[in-house]
Amino acid sequence: MTTEEFKEYVKTRKALNTEEIHRLMDDMSNEARRITFQLNTAYHTPDEVRRLLSGLFGYQVPSSLRVFPPFYTDFGKNIVVGEGVFINACCHFQDHGGVTIGDGCQIGHNVVFATLNHGLVPKDRKTTYPAPIVLGRNVWIGSNTTILQGVTIGDNAVVGAGAVVTKDVAANTVVGGVPAHFIKVIEE
């Protein structure tokens, strides 16, 4: 199985439970750790950070991307970032299911993107199920937020610090809390 075949497969949201899939996930995790260890253990200029992230993500990231390491991911090849994105320090991307970050997004410290979940019943608990996380344009994610699998956050939305986002967030709204709930509409 190739990385591209895997990325197509996870779009189906079917179980990640074959030996072939596990082998690819292990190989990709090893590569991601190799690059993130390099990224996170020394100072790098912004251009060097983007070069390392380009290798990690598997494409040339935008020159407008700003990331403050340390940065963590256990896959790396299923992250797509738009123009003018800022990702602050200590963020964790579990991106097997796919993470898409739209233009102009701002991600605070210690944000977790979790695109995998486990089966609920004990005999299925070792099985993982992917679902993507999608951020629209100009989304602001506050520090220490966790965004769970399958969540889409609409354009211009704000997620308050420390929130746990379990459901989609409408555009032009503010949410916060555990679990995240509607707080108010953002008016121009």
- Annotated catalytic residues are 118
Q: Is residue 124 a contact partner of residue 142, using CB atoms and an 8 Å limit?
A: no
Q: Which residues contact 155 (CB under 8 A, 6 or more apart)?
A: 102, 136, 137, 138, 139, 171, 172
Strand locations in the chain, DSSP E? 66-67, 71-73, 79-81, 86-87, 91-94, 99-101, 106-107, 112-114, 116-118, 128-130, 133-135, 140-141, 146-148, 152-153, 158-159, 164-165, 173-176, 181-185
Q: Any idea which residue has 């992917």 for tokens?
A: 130
Q: Which residues contact 19 (CB under 8 A, 6 or more apart)?
A: none
DSSP state of 169: B
